[in-house]
Structure 1
């Protein structure tokens, strides 16, 4: 199965460099390229296939962090890896806060870039080692919170995807279109989510899932 990847960068030379790297792998297909966040959002309006976006940070009109937040709001099923030269704490923190699924530096070799894309699509969080270390330092908390003793709540991958879409305020029809399923299937997944989380409304489900870091 092909992996449809978009590249968003204001430098066309770097876009070509990334395309050349990905061309080494048969299952990689470029869905589109864009030179800024505005172009990216415009192309996503008609694009139905993009699985993942490689996103630069510094771009005119609309930067990569702002665009990441918008993409995650409107198309939460799409994964985003920041691909940038910036490794400062502020950009890392803001990218993760915006919803980035991974953070790589542009000198990442082809095989590592490919593996990172596959890992991210499988639910991982790909990061350049130096970025991962900085992220750990950013997130480290001196207070140790004891986990509550309760039965683990396990949602299926599809149920989690539906819940993420629901948390963005999307209607059932939009969720169905984004995930290539029928509205009735969406309703069935939501019924199962309510049962597993022991809640009775969308708001309760979203609040509970965020509290428990399910989404």
Structure 2
């Protein structure tokens, strides 16, 4: 059995890392990679002979949750596993609502990733234990994410520092140098900021932070 995979992630290095993990298994083959949800959908329009997509969440143009919703409507046979850095409650909730078949963290090892893919194609749901636990908690105590007011927005001191640097037009590497962080840590902070502010890009984040007097 040859399982045909698509990888959607705007971080080229992470895409390569995922491809390397998958290369250990002869029953998997990566058919395409895309840098955002829109590019993924464009590629599926040309050929949707794909079994499963590994989908990042925070991406420009069209994020992973929006893309999942569109793909599930147009190509219901394709299974989708969210493969992301954070086990954020709202992302888990919105991913499941959009039709995602599983949710794994990017640090997952090659064997568990393979097992998750096979399980998902056999009708199961791939989930890290921490995510399964959060999903159970969300089911027991549902949160109406849409109804939350902007007053709930709380950023950590470090996230505010990152956002202030971002508002000055600095890139990830400059911010990392200024705050003595690694670029990947800066990226994680920015993903967290986007999630907390419920925005999809830098401009929206800066505008919302200013309107909430965060910066």
- Cα distance in structure 2, aligned partners of 1:113 and 1:141: 29
Contact preservation (8 Å) 1:10, 1:59: yes
Which region of structure 1 is more displaced relative to structure 2, 66-75 or 41-50? 41-50
Aligned to 1:130: 130
Post-superposition offset of 1:141: 6.4
User: Given the alignment of the two structures, is residue 68 of structure 1 paired with residue 68 of structure 2, yes or no?
Assistant: yes
Q: Which runs of 5+ in 1 are unaligned?
A: 143-215
Q: CA separation in 2, counterparts of 1:30 and 1:24?
A: 12
TM, length-normalised to structure 2: 0.65
**8 Å CA contact 1:31, 1:49 repeated in 2:** no
After superposition, give the CA deviation of every residue in 1:111-139 in whole Å (9 maximum; x if it has no partner).
00000000000000110000000000101
* 1:175-190 alignment runs, 5 A limit: none
Residue 12 of structure 2 corresponds to 12
Contact 2:7/2:54 (8 A) holds in 1: yes
List 4+ stretches of structure 1 deviating above 3 A: none
Instruction: Tell me the distance in 1 between the aligned counterparts of 2:141 and 2:48.
Output: 40
Tell me the equivalent position of 2:80: 80
The separation in 1 between residues aligned to 2:59 and 2:123, in whole angstroms, is 27
In structure 2, how many angstroms separate the alpha carbons of the residues matched to 1:75 and 1:11?
Answer: 25
Counterparts of 1:86 and 1:98 in 2: how far apart (Å)? 17
Deviation, 1:49, is 1.8
Which residue is equivalent to 2:54? 54
Residue 22 (structure 1) aligns with: 22
Question: Match for residue 105 of structure 2?
Answer: 105
> Tell me, what secondary structure is at the counterpart of 1:103?
strand
**What residue in structure 2 maps to residue 116 of structure 1?**
116
Alpha carbons 1:103, 1:128 under 8 Å: kept: yes
Q: Is the 8 A contact 1:50 1:78 kept in 2?
A: yes
Q: Matches of 2:137 and 2:83 in 1, distance apart?
A: 20
Q: How much does 1:77 deviate?
A: 0.6
Q: Does the aligned pair in 2 maintain the 1:80–1:100 contact within 8 Å?
A: yes
- What is the correspondence of 1:28-39 to structure 2 with a 5 Å cutoff? 28-39=28-39
In structure 2, how many angstroms separate the alpha carbons of the residues matched to 1:39 and 1:141? 36
Q: Is the 8 A contact 2:48 2:75 kept in 1?
A: no
Q: Which runs of 5+ in 2 are unaligned?
A: 143-215
1:8-42, CA deviations, whole angstroms, 9 ceiling, x for partnerless residues? 00001000000000000011100100000110000
In the alignment, which residue of structure 2 is the partner of 1:175? none
Q: Which residue of 2 aligns with 1:3?
A: 3
Question: 1:48 Cα shift?
Answer: 3.4
RMSD of aligned Cα (Å): 1.1
- Could you tell me whether the CA contact under 8 Å between 1:79 and 1:120 is conserved in 2? yes
